[in-house]
């Protein structure tokens, strides 16, 4: 029986289906793996039983992924599984930030007792006149799963769309409408934009990338949308831009002590991915990643280890070594196997950044002293006997 600890409400109805051979447990110390969403794991003492963590969602800034890699813990996310939900709410925010829809509804509620409300509404409506998106210039920062969808949707709305992403993947470049114009610097992207929308992960090179300099390049009265992470903007600069008129509106998914006090904002409860469909997509992807890793050792969509697959574990034994990406690891692993006369059927080695993964099938079960010898190799973080 494999044991899973869930952290956060994975879905609104609380349903998490791993199927036969799995049990949801209440204590992480009893679990083999964790299924989670947005809880911050920095400073959390990870029990040694945990071999894998799957984040239902895209952003992993809430998880110390490199620290966990060195503990031999594979961290997965679910890329793209909630991107459509975020795209839709960003389009909603574009419209709500441009038309006085919310303000007009508030007026109606406030005048519910007015017997002449139909006539009075006709007089009031001039206060809620907005402008159209068609023909306006929008800059999209980050053209990954969410940003590329937002950019394409803005093309469909008739906007003049510019994108900035120095690390765009081939897959997302192919998915992008030819009408999206790519620019080489963030400053060129911001220049003369009516709208700026942010879709980059929170990491050292994106923290505070939108500050006074970037905001100063936007058209006066521009709209800023941040459904990525709160860390990406310089909050004081955004506040000053709203008060000074450089920004007319700020829509943001992160209620921080500063954003909630800014004027002219729509601040939501980190609800960009808040649809039943996105929750189900993320849970399905994360669950299948965890199952394939626990049952077969295969890695897909990890953020701290390379992708690696040898299909289903069918040989007598399958062993996986998680280790540092340094020279002579394969040599040392095969030397241990040769010393104990183990016959390797198949072997794969993959690396990503500072970490690497070696997995092999053998004709017979390895003796425990062989496994112990593998664990003794310097720079091996963990050895898993999968079968």
Ligand X SMILES: NC(=O)C1=CN([C@@H]2O[C@H](COP(=O)(O)OP(=O)(O)OC[C@H]3O[C@@H](n4cnc5c(N)ncnc54)[C@H](O)[C@@H]3O)[C@@H](O)[C@H]2O)C=CC1
Contact positions toward ligand X, by CB under 6 A? 57-59, 79, 82-83, 86, 141-147, 164-168, 172, 199-202, 205-206, 227-229, 253, 270, 272-273
The whole-angstrom separation of Cα 244 and Cα 239 is 9
Residue number, 57 or 72, with CB nearest to ligand X: 57
Q: Would you tell me the crossing angle of helices 83-96 and 145-156 to the nearest 10 degrees?
A: 50
- With CB cut-offs between 5 and 8 Å by kind, which of ligand X, ligand AKG, none does residue 20 bind? none
| Least separation in angstroms between CB 200 and ligand X | 4
Centroid of chain to Cα 296: 25
Torsions phi, psi of 344, nearest 5? -85, 125
Report the C-alpha dihedral over residues 175, 180, 186, 188, rounded to 10 degrees: 160
> Is residue 153 classed as helix, strand or coil in its secondary structure?
helix
Residue number, 206 or 248, with CB nearest to ligand AKG: 206
- With CB cut-offs between 5 and 8 Å by kind, which of ligand AKG, ligand X, none does residue 87 bind? none
Residue number, 221 or 353, with CB nearest to ligand X: 353
Residue number, 59 or 142, with CB nearest to ligand AKG: 59
- With CB cut-offs between 5 and 8 Å by kind, which of ligand AKG, ligand X, none does residue 147 bind? ligand X
Contact 299, 307 (CB under 8 A): yes
The whole-angstrom separation of Cα 66 and Cα 54 is 15
| Least separation in angstroms between CB 270 and ligand AKG | 6
Residue number, 38 or 104, with CB nearest to ligand X: 38
Torsions phi, psi of 35, nearest 5? -115, 125
- With CB cut-offs between 5 and 8 Å by kind, which of ligand X, ligand AKG, none does residue 228 bind? ligand X
Q: Tell me the Cα Rg of the chain.
A: 25
| Least separation in angstroms between CB 342 and ligand X | 40
Contact 373, 339 (CB under 8 A): yes
| Least separation in angstroms between CB 273 and ligand AKG | 4
| Least separation in angstroms between CB 223 and ligand X | 17
The whole-angstrom separation of Cα 297 and Cα 335 is 22
Half-sphere exposure for 24 (CA within 13 Å, toward CB): 12
Residue number, 146 or 308, with CB nearest to ligand X: 146
| Least separation in angstroms between CB 58 and ligand AKG | 4
- With CB cut-offs between 5 and 8 Å by kind, which of ligand X, ligand AKG, none does residue 156 bind? none
The whole-angstrom separation of Cα 362 and Cα 310 is 13
Q: Which residue is nearest to ligand X (CB)?
A: 144
Which helix (DSSP H) or strand (DSSP E) does residue 243 occupy?
helix 235-244
- With CB cut-offs between 5 and 8 Å by kind, which of ligand X, ligand AKG, none does residue 382 bind? none
Residues near ligand AKG (CB under 6 A) are 37-38, 57-59, 82, 270, 273
Torsions phi, psi of 293, nearest 5? -75, -45
Q: Tokens in use for 45?
A: 């003492």
Beta bridge partners of 356: 323, 351
Residue number, 282 or 310, with CB nearest to ligand AKG: 282
| Least separation in angstroms between CB 228 and ligand X | 4
| Least separation in angstroms between CB 167 and ligand X | 3
């Amino acid at each position: 029986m494999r044991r899973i600890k869930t952290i956060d409400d994975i879905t609104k109805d609380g349903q998490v289906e791993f199927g036969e051979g799995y049990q949801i447990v209440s204590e992480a110390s009893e679990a083999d793996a964790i299924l989670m969403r947005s809880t911050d794991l920095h400073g959390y003492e990870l029990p040694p039983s945990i071999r894998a963590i799957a984040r239902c969602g895209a952003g992993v800034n809430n998880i110390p992924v490199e620290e966990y890699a060195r503990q031999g813990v594979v961290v997965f996310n679910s890329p793209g599984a909630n991107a459509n939900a975020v795209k839709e709410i960003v389009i909603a925010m574009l419209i709500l930030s441009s038309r006085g829809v919310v303000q007009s509804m508030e007026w109606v509620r406030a005048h519910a007792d007015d017997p002449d409300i139909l006539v009075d509404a006709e007089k009031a409506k001039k206060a809620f006149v907005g402008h159209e998106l068609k023909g306006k210039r929008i800059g999209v920062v980050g053209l990954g799963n969410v940003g590329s969808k937002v950019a394409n949707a803005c093309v469909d709305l008739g906007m003049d769309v510019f994108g900035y992403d120095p690390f765009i993947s081939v897959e997302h470049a192919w998915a992008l409408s030819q009408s999206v114009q790519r620019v080489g610097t963030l400053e060129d992207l911001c220049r003369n934009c009516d709208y700026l929308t942010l879709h980059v992960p929170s990491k050292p090179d994106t923290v505070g990338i939108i500050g006074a300099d970037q905001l100063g390049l936007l058209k006066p009265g521009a709209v800023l949308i941040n459904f990525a992470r709160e860390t990406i903007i310089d909050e004081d600069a955004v506040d000053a831009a709203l008060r000074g008129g450089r920004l007319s509106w700020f829509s943001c998914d992160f209620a921080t002590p500063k954003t909630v006090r800014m004027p002219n904002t729509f601040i939501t409860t980190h609800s960009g991915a808040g649809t039943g469909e996105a929750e189900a997509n993320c849970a399905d992807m994360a669950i299948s990643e965890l199952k394939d890793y626990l049952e077969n050792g295969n890695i897909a969509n990890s953020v701290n280890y390379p992708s690696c697959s040898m299909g289903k574990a069918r040989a007598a034994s399958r062993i996986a070594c998680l280790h540092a990406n340094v020279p002579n690891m394969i040599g040392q692993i095969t030397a241990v196997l040769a010393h104990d006369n183990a016959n390797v059927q198949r072997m794969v080695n993959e690396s990503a950044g500072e970490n690497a993964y070696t997995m092999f099938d053998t004709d017979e079960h390895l003796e425990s002293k062989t496994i112990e010898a593998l664990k003794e190799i310097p720079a091996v973080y963990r050895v898993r006997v999968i079968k």
